[in-house]
């Protein structure tokens, strides 16, 4: 089944509202194995709405609209849908009673135009709205289906979940299952090159590469009669990809590096302290995002000044004078100092030049040293990050967490 999602609302066109419904419906339809080829946003304009709907039906069998079901005159989704299916609008008594009841409940007075919301296309299925006044509608005729949902997500989502999803599931012959492999330390193009042969060879499952912030992602999607069948089609492909990337694949599905590293710290029950210069607390903050981290993350320092590095961490003055604050030697002493002063098994430290200023000879903006000490063994990694101050700091945090993750897996 070919589907399109149409959001009706000038407030979205003007940017006053973010179209989160489109993402929600896209995810749900993908899970149902319904292909979505287009998402469109159109304003509350009769002609353009009609053009959009008719054009969409010229290439798709299923159109899901959000919005334009309200009581005001410029809410025209039902009228336009009725026109396409050549059905007149008739009053739905039950919908009308529910609207009256809704207003009694909320103690608000029902205005005449609210009655407009109870009119629905003849021969349609009414989706009664438990979270608002506008009922949704399903019309099905000549192999074409239109599903009209209200605009506010708190009405759209439950109505889809409880009434539309079961309706669509019944008609789906195939199910689509995806596995998302998250890859760290490999650029998008390098990643694609590494699996190009697989991508070219596969049709079902398919392999789609993309990049997100500091990471690269491979999505494997299989189409099959059952979820189990789809999963077993994906398994060997995923295995082959794991063989090629190993620990570069840091996780699957919806998660992020700080979550994975924090979970690993908790699993290994390794206590950690952080010492930060250029990342300025962002490393600690990333770990602290994870609830329950307090049992292993005991202490962090943001030793921005040389004095703080000496006082808080015991970094030697000679080291700072001889090699500078941004150096492998300082990173080493910071990591060890963090672990020693906090009495933790792990010390993780960052020192670098986030820019835009602060560059010195042989020390360009983006130069970052990461120090990591685990159970008394200390290593230092030298990195060069590009981008603005924010990007450099973000990548430094990401790289530090990724390195810690890889070491914990050894």
The residue among 190 and 409 lying less far from a second copy, judged by its C-beta, is 190
Nearer Cβ to a second copy (125/341): 341
* Shortest Cβ 138–a second copy spacing (Å): 21
For a second copy, give the closer residue by CB, 235 or 298.
Answer: 298
The least distance separating a second copy from the CB of residue 371, rounded to whole angstroms, comes to: 17
Query: Helix/strand/coil (H, E, C) string of the chain?
Result: CEEEEEEECHHHHCCCCCCHHHHHHHHHHHHHCCEEEEEEEECCCHHHHHHHHHHHHCCCCEEEEECCCCCCCCCCHHHHHHHHHCCCEEECHHHHHHHHHHHHHHCCCCCHHHHHHHEEECCCEEECCCCCCCCEEEEEECCEEEEEECCCHHHHHHHHHHHHHHHHHHHCCCEEEEEEEEECCCCHHHHHHHHHHHHHHCCCCEEEEEEECCEEEEEEEEEECCHHHHHHHHHHHHHHHHHHHHHHEEEECCCCHHHHHHHHHHHHCCCEEEEECCCCCHHHHHHHCCCCHHHCEEEEEECCCHHHHHHHHCCCHHHHHHHCCCCHHHHHHHHHHHHHHHCCCEEEEEEECCCCCCCECCECCCEEEEEEEECCEEEEEEEECCCCHHHHHHHHHHHHHHHHHHHHHC
Which of 83/312 has CB closer to a second copy? 312
Q: How far is the CB of 27 from a second copy (least distance, A)?
A: 3
Query: Which of 92, 299 has the CB closer to a second copy?
Result: 299
| 212/244 with CB nearer a second copy | 212
Which residues have C-beta within 8 Å of that of residue 80, sequence separation ≥ 6?
Answer: 46, 49, 50, 53, 68
To the nearest whole angstrom, how small is the minimum distance from the Cβ of residue 139 to a second copy? 23
Q: Min. distance of Cβ 241 from a second copy in angstroms? A: 16
Q: CB 322 → a second copy: shortest distance, Å?
A: 21
Min separation Cβ 66 and a second copy, Å: 13
Least spacing, CB of residue 362 vs a second copy, in Å: 14
* Cβ proximity to a second copy, 55 vs 223, nearer residue: 55
CB-based contacts of 395, cutoff 8 Å, min separation 6: 214, 383, 385, 387
Which residues are 363's β-sheet partners? 360
φ/ψ of 253, rounded to 5, equals 80, -160
Q: Tell me the closest approach of the beta carbon of residue 113 to a second copy, in angstroms.
A: 5
Nearer to a second copy, 169 or 305 (CB): 305
CB of 385 to a second copy, least distance (A): 7
Q: 219-253 as b/e, with b when 16 or more CB fall inside 10 Å?
A: ebbbbbeeeeebeebbeebbeebeeebeebbbbee
Task: Give whichever of 211 and 233 is closer to a second copy, judged by the CB atom.
Answer: 211
> Given the complex with a second copy, which of 41 and 76 has the nearer CB atom?
41
- Torsion (CA) 207, 211, 215, 218 in degrees, nearest 10: -10
Q: How far is the CB of 141 from a second copy (least distance, A)?
A: 26
Looking at the Cβ atoms of 138 and 325, the one nearer to a second copy is: 325
């Amino acid at each position: 089944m070919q589907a399109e999602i149409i959001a009706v609302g000038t407030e979205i066109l003007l940017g006053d509202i973010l179209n989160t419904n489109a993402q929600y419906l896209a995810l749900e339809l993908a899970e149902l194995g319904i292909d979505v080829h287009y998402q469109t946003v159109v304003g509350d304009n009769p002609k353009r709405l009609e053009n959009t709907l008719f054009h969409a039906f010229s290439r798709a069998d299923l159109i899901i609209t959000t919005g334009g079901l309200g009581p005001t005159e410029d809410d025209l989704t039902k009228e336009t849908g009725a026109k396409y299916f050549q059905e007149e609008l008739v009053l739905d008594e039950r919908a009308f009673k529910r609207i009256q009841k809704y207003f009694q409940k909320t103690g608000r007075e029902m205005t005449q135009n609210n009655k407009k919301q109870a009119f629905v296309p003849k021969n349609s299925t009414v989706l009664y709205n438990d979270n608002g006044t506008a009922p949704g509608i399903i019309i099905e005729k000549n192999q074409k289906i239109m599903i009209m949902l209200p605009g506010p997500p708190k009405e759209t989502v439950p109505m889809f979940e409880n009434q539309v999803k079961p309706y669509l599931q019944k008609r789906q012959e195939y199910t689509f299952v995806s596995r998302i492999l998250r890859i760290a330390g490999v650029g998008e193009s390098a990643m694609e090159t590494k699996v190009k042969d697989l991508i070219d060879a596969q049709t079902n499952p398919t392999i789609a590469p993309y990049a997100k912030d500091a990471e690269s992602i491979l999505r494997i999607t299989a189409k099959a009669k059952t979820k189990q069948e789809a999963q077993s089609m994906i398994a060997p492909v995923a295995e082959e990809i794991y063989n090629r990337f190993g620990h570069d694949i840091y996780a699957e599905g919806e998660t992020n590096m700080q979550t994975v590293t924090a979970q690993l710290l908790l699993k290994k029950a390794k206590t950690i302290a952080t010492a930060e210069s250029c990342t300025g607390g962002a490393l600690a903050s990333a770990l602290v995002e994870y609830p329950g981290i307090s049992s292993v993350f005991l202490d962090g320092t943001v030793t921005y000044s040389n004095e703080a590095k000496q006082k808080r961490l015991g970094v030697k003055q000679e080291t700072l004078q001889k090699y500078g604050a941004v150096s492998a030697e300082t990173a080493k002493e910071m990591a060890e100092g963090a672990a020693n002063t906090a009495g933790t098994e792990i010390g993780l430290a960052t020192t670098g030049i986030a820019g835009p200023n602060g560059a010195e000879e042989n020390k360009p903006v983006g130069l970052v040293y990461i120090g990591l000490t685990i159970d008394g063994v200390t290593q230092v990694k030298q990195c060069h990050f590009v981008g603005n101050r924010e990007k450099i700091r973000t990548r430094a945090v990401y790289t530090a967490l990724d390195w810690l993750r890889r070491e914990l897996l050894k």
